[in-house]
Structure 1
Amino acid sequence: MIMRDRSVALTPAEMEAGKKVLTEVLRGIDEKNHKRWRRVVNTWFELEEGEITTVDTRHPRSGPFHRFHMALEQAVFNGQERFRDFDRFRDWLKIGASHVEWVPGAKGGIVPLPKSISYAELEEQEMRELHEKMMEFLHGDHAAPYLWKHLDAEEAGTMMSSILSGFEK
């Protein structure tokens, strides 16, 4: 949410310079979007004292990075021996990476509820940060022994490292 601060006096030249930066340096990707963008910028400069507007921005996710991350999840899922259902595995991975909302549980305690990683819910930078947290979790002391319960911790760690080695940047 933003508002125009009328306590900042702008000369007509400063007002035009501001509009120029916002409409010529930053542009819509095509004429239709640019026309909409110019309208938005003009609306901002015309806001009255106390008038508020909302700005919603989205930074689209990278398709190649999304596919890279999904391949990582699939590779670990395919190599592990604990989960039969991919969605439950992904929930476990989200919880391990702390991508959760803490909510009251059925018996009064607080439990982690995994958050969505859909394109609509998670922008590119947030997805990259989550990917790093998932990698930290998978490289940590808990994940490998849990996924390969018949192996000792060192063997499970070696198994995890062999899978993750193809996903290190």
Structure 2
Amino acid sequence: MSKLVIIKNDQGKLEGIDPAGQRAYQKWRRLVTDLPVGQTLSFSYRMPRSPAHHRLFFGKLNNLLARTEAFTKLDDLRRWLTLGAGYADLIPGLDGQPNAIPQSLDFESMDEAEFGELHRQVDAFLWSTRAQQTLWPHLDDEARYRCVESFMREFE
């Protein structure tokens, strides 16, 4: 599979990021331009991860860590939230039962579109009774809800 990285130049035109990339971009443009009527062309693209969005997400996690006694390490909270959001792979454990392993959130394995969806799923999970009971087990349901409400308000 070919890889192409493009950039918008000072004149506002797209071009390859380097000479090899420029050649690849020109080939790709020719493919698109010369595509016969009725023919199809398939390609994939990747949206680079936004460092600002990454900082916001991990800022939220640090803030949440400070609000709960259920977790003392950020990595443990992150893994738990990733599982709660449904971003996990199931692999057989030693006893043959499936074990959920959180998927990686690193820049190479998750682009911005996927990271944005994970962020939405984590926020949705935090509204669940299960998440609230885990994070604040000593509070009643109404107080737990207010905790999430207050937390989410800080990041609007």
Say whether the fold is shared (TM-score over 0.5).
Answer: yes
TM-score scaled by length of structure 2: 0.76
| Unmatched 5+ stretches in structure 2 | 3-12, 34-41
Question: Does the aligned pair in 2 maintain the 1:104–1:111 contact within 8 Å?
Answer: yes
Aligned-pair CA distance for 1:88: 1.1
Q: Secondary structure at the match of 2:101?
A: strand
Give the Cα separation in 1 of the matches to 2:32 and 2:137.
59
Superposition map of 1:68-107 within 5 A: 68-107=56-95
Give the Cα separation in 2 of the matches to 1:122 and 1:44.
27
Amino acid at match of 1:153: D
**Which piece of structure 1 moves more, 65-74 or 95-104?**
65-74
Give the Cα separation in 2 of the matches to 1:119 and 1:55.
21
Quote the RMSD (CA, aligned, Å): 2.8
Q: Secondary structure at the match of 1:126?
A: helix
Partner of 2:138: 150
Query: Would you say 1:119 and 2:107 are equivalent positions?
Result: yes
Question: Does the aligned pair in 1 maintain the 2:88–2:100 contact within 8 Å?
Answer: yes
Partner of 2:37: none
| Unmatched 5+ stretches in structure 1 | 3-25, 46-53
Aligned residues: 139
Partner of 2:50: 62
Give the Cα separation in 1 of the matches to 2:17 and 2:87.
36
Structure showing the higher helix proportion among its residues:
1
Give the Cα separation in 2 of the matches to 1:78 and 1:89.
11
